Structure 1
Amino acid sequence: MDVLSDVIALMRTGEPTSALVRWHAPWGQMFPAVPGSAGVQVVLSGSCLLVADAPASPVRLRLNAGDVLFLPHGHGYALASDASAAVAGPPVLPAGRPALLVRDTVGEPGDGPATVTLCAGYRLDPEHAHPLLRELPEVLHLPGGRPGVAEAVALLAREAQAPGLGTDTLLPALLDALLLYVLRAHVDDAGSPGGSSPGGSGWAAALADPAVGTALAAMHGEPHHPWTVAALAARAGLSRAAFARRFRQRVGQPPLAYLTWWRMTTAARLLRTTDTPLSVIASRSGYTAEYAFAHAFKRAYGTPPGRYRGR
């Protein structure tokens, strides 16, 4: 798997839930903070205003049909038809709801233009989140019409507005695809000459850097391989010293330190979600001896792998 695919697989627990909502102007809706979650909003038709009082800096955005928002840190925000609309409290959603809930505006609808949104929520595992997610801004906004994103939005709109056989499986997969397009666009924009981190530090810069990105892909694709700094440098097409310096500048830690973190993170996910024998997990994590793997895992998580699995 490549790095972005791994980030998606690592970040969430369970499947995303979603709701298709038709809003009738004037309208306003508060979406409260939900720690340990991430939100997605897709404007399928019409327009609305985003108001996000994020801790870092407030965000005010006018959103149009096709626009996509990703809010990765679980902070609260509001959507409204315009700045003068009254904002209602958080919606009350039924427990055990299906993958897609379809509803009209809560409360008394207005008689103005309609806006249709698809809102989705991901439950995150903050203890094991990839550092790429922690570096993301409070709000990622992709205007409609961006290649890849536009097609994903069109598929989501068609499936959400005319559900059929397999919708409960298709919607989570389409939301994952949309999220990958959002993160890919963020990496591409940040690493571009006019972006926020061309040649700088941070995960967007790391993934946009051909040499560092190649090394990261190698580590994620073959975590069991006995990688050395020299072998990773050769894969990246740089000298050992130049590669080690560039990797640390971009990622914030040495190559083998990140490799160990990734191996242990992968092992923890397998322990939590599968019945794979410890010997197999040790081998997949690059350890020929189970006791060496257990020692490394305990150093990383403070408990032996067998006890971690039982807990």
Structure 2
Amino acid sequence: MIVQNAPADVLSDVLRLMQAQTLCSARLVARGAWSIRFQPPDTIKFNVMTAGTCWIRPDGPDGPDGREAPRRLDAGDCFVVVRGGFVLASAPDLPPVPAAQVFQAPGGEANVNAGNGVPGAAGDEVRFLGGSVRFDRLDGGLLFDLLPRLLMIPGDVPGAAPIGWLLDQLDREWRAGGVGSQLVCNDLLRLMFVHALRTHLSEHPPQGANWLAASLDSSIGRALGAIHAEPCRNWTLAELAGIAGRSRSSFAAAFRERVGIPPIDYMLRWRMRLAATRLRRGQEPVSTIAASLGYLSDSAFSATFRRIMGVSPVRYRTGADKAPASDRAAAIKD
């Protein structure tokens, strides 16, 4: 019997660490002329358009952000709001009403018709399904700090084909409302969110020196995958260079250029990120965590943890709920 392990996937690793969970929670049906302002969310907002055409514009602190023009949404498109408020409207210049005024009915349903406080001419029906992506507050920045505030994924780009099929299933499931429907809708939205991320990264590769950009590099990405597949292994520069198919000097220079830090530093920081998450979420002894991450002594682990995270493992665990921003950024973001 041949057993083949799935290849290491850095993005999946980070999403698991963040405990990213999707909740399909809202449906919007709008007719005529309408405009709705959504306040900055405390989660990631993910929405898919099932019918019609409308416009979205990012909102600034004191109203529409003039630096970004309104953008058109068509049936099959989806968008991800990473941070900041936004306005959805049947036309770009209509005055908006607050979303709280619209989403008052139980069950996350909202129906908007021309004449309910939003002036303008009648238009075609627009339908949305939406939800949120919740994540660990200390680990979420690993991914979302590297993304733009608004991700637009057109339904007609090559990588979006699976989203269209999933959208049909989600729309049908939401309408049917059968046994277990909420769980099915949540899982379908989760799959759509991951496909949306994939498509965005394919169409708009991330820039700068960071793990996300590096993970898409065919050479450096293999080395990152190896580190994530076996974080407890004491990788050497020569081993990682061999996996990347480069000489040691070429690999070290390329890794630092793409990721922003040397390979061994990345390995140590990822280990400490894993350790910090386990310290916050559970009651495992420090010695157990240390051994599982390749350390032969608690003191060696504690010294590395203190150097990277700024405090000892014990102090980190007791103060995790009040961890400063510097702790959140310490591991692999920079």
Task: Indicate whether the TM-score tops 0.5.
Answer: yes
C-alpha spacing 1:290/1:120, structure 2 compared with 1 (3 Å):
same
Q: Please say if residues 20 and 118 of structure 1, whose CA atoms lie closer than 8 Å, have aligned partners that are also in contact.
A: yes
2:32 aligns to what?
A: 25
- State yes or no: 1:242 paired with 2:250: yes
Which of 3, 12, 15 aligns to 1:5? It is 12
Q: Please say if residues 174 and 185 of structure 2, whose CA atoms lie closer than 8 Å, have aligned partners that are also in contact.
A: yes
1:22-71 deviations in Å (ceiling 9; x for gaps): 1222111111123x532212111112100114679414211011101112
**Aligned runs of 1:191-202 on 2, under 5 Å?**
191=205, 201-202=209-210
Amino acid aligned to 1:129? G
1:148 aligns to what?
A: 162
- State yes or no: 1:186 paired with 2:186: no
Q: Please say if residues 8 and 180 of structure 1, whose CA atoms lie closer than 8 Å, have aligned partners that are also in contact.
A: no
**Aligned runs of 1:223-302 on 2, under 5 Å?**
223-302=231-310
How many angstroms does 1:2 deviate by?
1.4
- Secondary structure at the aligned position of 2:219 is classed as helix
Q: Please say if residues 135 and 203 of structure 1, whose CA atoms lie closer than 8 Å, have aligned partners that are also in contact.
A: no
- State yes or no: 1:173 paired with 2:187: yes
C-alpha spacing 1:308/1:225, structure 2 compared with 1 (3 Å):
same
- Secondary structure at the aligned position of 2:71 is classed as strand
2:74 aligns to what?
A: 64
2-structure distance, mates of 1:143, 1:248: 34
Aligned length: 299
How many angstroms does 1:257 deviate by?
1.6
Q: Please say if residues 202 and 251 of structure 1, whose CA atoms lie closer than 8 Å, have aligned partners that are also in contact.
A: yes
1-structure distance, mates of 2:298, 2:13: 24
2-structure distance, mates of 1:182, 1:56: 26
C-alpha spacing 1:271/1:201, structure 2 compared with 1 (3 Å):
closer
C-alpha spacing 1:307/1:205, structure 2 compared with 1 (3 Å):
closer
C-alpha spacing 1:9/1:187, structure 2 compared with 1 (3 Å):
same
Amino acid aligned to 1:274? G
- Secondary structure at the aligned position of 2:294 is classed as coil
C-alpha spacing 1:152/1:109, structure 2 compared with 1 (3 Å):
farther
2:128 aligns to what?
A: 117
C-alpha spacing 1:59/1:53, structure 2 compared with 1 (3 Å):
farther
How many angstroms does 1:213 deviate by?
0.8
1-structure distance, mates of 2:66, 2:89: 22
Which of 295, 312, 317 aligns to 1:304? It is 312
C-alpha spacing 1:249/1:60, structure 2 compared with 1 (3 Å):
same
Unmatched tracts of structure 1, length 5 or more: none
1-structure distance, mates of 2:9, 2:86: 32
How many angstroms does 1:125 deviate by?
4.0
How many angstroms does 1:242 deviate by?
0.8
Amino acid aligned to 1:66? G
Q: Please say if residues 22 and 187 of structure 2, whose CA atoms lie closer than 8 Å, have aligned partners that are also in contact.
A: no
Q: Please say if residues 25 and 108 of structure 2, whose CA atoms lie closer than 8 Å, have aligned partners that are also in contact.
A: yes
Amino acid aligned to 1:23? A
1:214-239 deviations in Å (ceiling 9; x for gaps): 11111111111111221111111111
2-structure distance, mates of 1:4, 1:56: 33
Structure exhibiting the larger radius of gyration computed from Cα positions: 2
1:92-125 deviations in Å (ceiling 9; x for gaps): 668xx8xx72332399388642211122223444
Q: Please say if residues 51 and 75 of structure 2, whose CA atoms lie closer than 8 Å, have aligned partners that are also in contact.
A: yes
Q: Please say if residues 10 and 130 of structure 1, whose CA atoms lie closer than 8 Å, have aligned partners that are also in contact.
A: no
Amino acid aligned to 1:86? P
How many angstroms does 1:139 deviate by?
1.6
Which of 42, 45, 52 aligns to 1:39? It is 45
2-structure distance, mates of 1:85, 1:190: 30
1:236-288 deviations in Å (ceiling 9; x for gaps): 11111111111111111111222122111112222223344433322332322
TM-score under structure 2 normalisation? 0.79
1-structure distance, mates of 2:307, 2:210: 26
Amino acid aligned to 1:58? E
2-structure distance, mates of 1:56, 1:227: 49
